[in-house]
């Protein structure tokens, strides 16, 4: 079945530094990728939707300049948390779909636990 | 706009007992509904999905859900709980008109008592 690899699975960084999270579709071409943020014991909140070769579409309230999303190829999307602060600490999850997700389905990565100290 | 409401943030059942996790949806267009399971510090795994075909949907690990339009519900059930079913469960909704964005419910933590 479809597999999405997310890396790293966890990262600790100092306040003020930037962190890049990668999301790769291993056996299919992901025309659309989604990035979610999940706070402890809470649901997933959609941050942005990215289509290969296009600028990401951010959800209301998500800072574009802080959460940089790049979807340069059909198998790779990256989320960069710039100038991270402790309040950015969270669990970040990516999801990918091949074409129309309704028919092809959505595959989720295993998530990245970000801790900013 | 679409939304899902999961009734009960925590459900506890005995091993071997019926599992029932409740989900109600709101959608002005025909919905596509999903149930996902999440184990600690992991991503989400699809249990089953409703895409306007059969209203009774069977998924993995013995789970099933029934789409009831009149009740705007999509409850998840399993006849006999196993210890390995302990996890967080999310109901989610999307549609063709939502640019395939999935909206998740708040989640229900399922605990299994020995």
In chain B, what residues touch A111 (CB-CB under 8 Å)?
A: 41-43
Q: What's the half-sphere exposure (Cβ side, CA atoms, 13 Å) at B90?
A: 22
CA-to-CA distance for B76 and B67, rounded, in angstroms?
A: 10
- Bridge partners for A79 per DSSP: A21, A69
| pLDDT tens digits, one per residue of A41-82 | 788 899 999 888 888 999 999 999 999 999 888 899 999 999
Q: Helix or strand or coil: residue A109? A: coil
Better pLDDT: A57 or B99: A57
Which one of A44, A112, A115 would you mutate to disrupt binding with B, by most B Cβ within 10 Å of its Cβ?
A: A44
| pLDDT tens digits, one per residue of B17-51 | 999 999 999 998 889 999 999 998 788 899 999 98
A113 close to B (CB below 8 A): yes
Query: Is residue B108 very low, low, confident or very high in pLDDT (cuts 50, 70, 90)?
Result: very high
Which tokens sit at B61? Answer: 């690990």
Going along chain B, which residue ranges are E strands?
A: 3-7, 10-14, 19-26, 32-38, 44-50, 56-58, 64-68, 73-78, 87-94, 103-104, 108-113
Q: Where is average pLDDT lowest: A108-112, B92-96, B99-103?
A: B99-103
Per the listing, tokens 């506890």 go with B12
CA distance A28 to chain B (A): 17
Query: Is residue A104 very low, low, confident or very high in pLDDT (cuts 50, 70, 90)?
Result: low
């Amino acid at each position: 079945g479809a597999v999405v690899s997310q890396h790293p699975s966890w990262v600790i960084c100092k306040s003020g530094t930037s962190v890049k999270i990668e999301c790769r579709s291993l056996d299919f071409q992901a025309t659309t990728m989604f990035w979610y943020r999940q706070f402890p014991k809470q649901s997933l909140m959609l941050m942005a939707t990215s289509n290969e070769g296009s600028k990401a579409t951010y959800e209301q309230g998500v800072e574009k300049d802080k959460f940089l999303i790049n979807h340069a190829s059909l198998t790779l999307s990256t989320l960069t948390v710039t100038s991270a602060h402790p309040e950015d600490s969270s669990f970040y999850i990516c999801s990918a779909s091949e074409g129309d997700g309704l028919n092809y389905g959505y595959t989720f990565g295993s998530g990245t636990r970000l801790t900013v100290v | 706009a679409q939304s899902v409401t999961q009734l009960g943030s925590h459900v506890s059942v005995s091993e071997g007992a019926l599992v029932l996790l409740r989900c109600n949806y709101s959608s002005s267009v025909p919905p596509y509904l999903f149930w996902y399971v999440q184990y600690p510090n992991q991503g989400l795994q699809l249990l089953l999905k409703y895409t306007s075909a059969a209203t009774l949907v069977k998924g993995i690990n013995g789970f099933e859900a029934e789409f009831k339009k009149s009740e705007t519900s999509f409850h998840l059930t399993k006849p006999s709980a196993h210890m390995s079913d302990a996890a967080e469960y999310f109901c989610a909704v999307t549609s063709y008109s939502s640019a395939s964005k999935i909206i998740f419910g708040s989640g229900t933590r399922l605990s299994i008592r020995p």
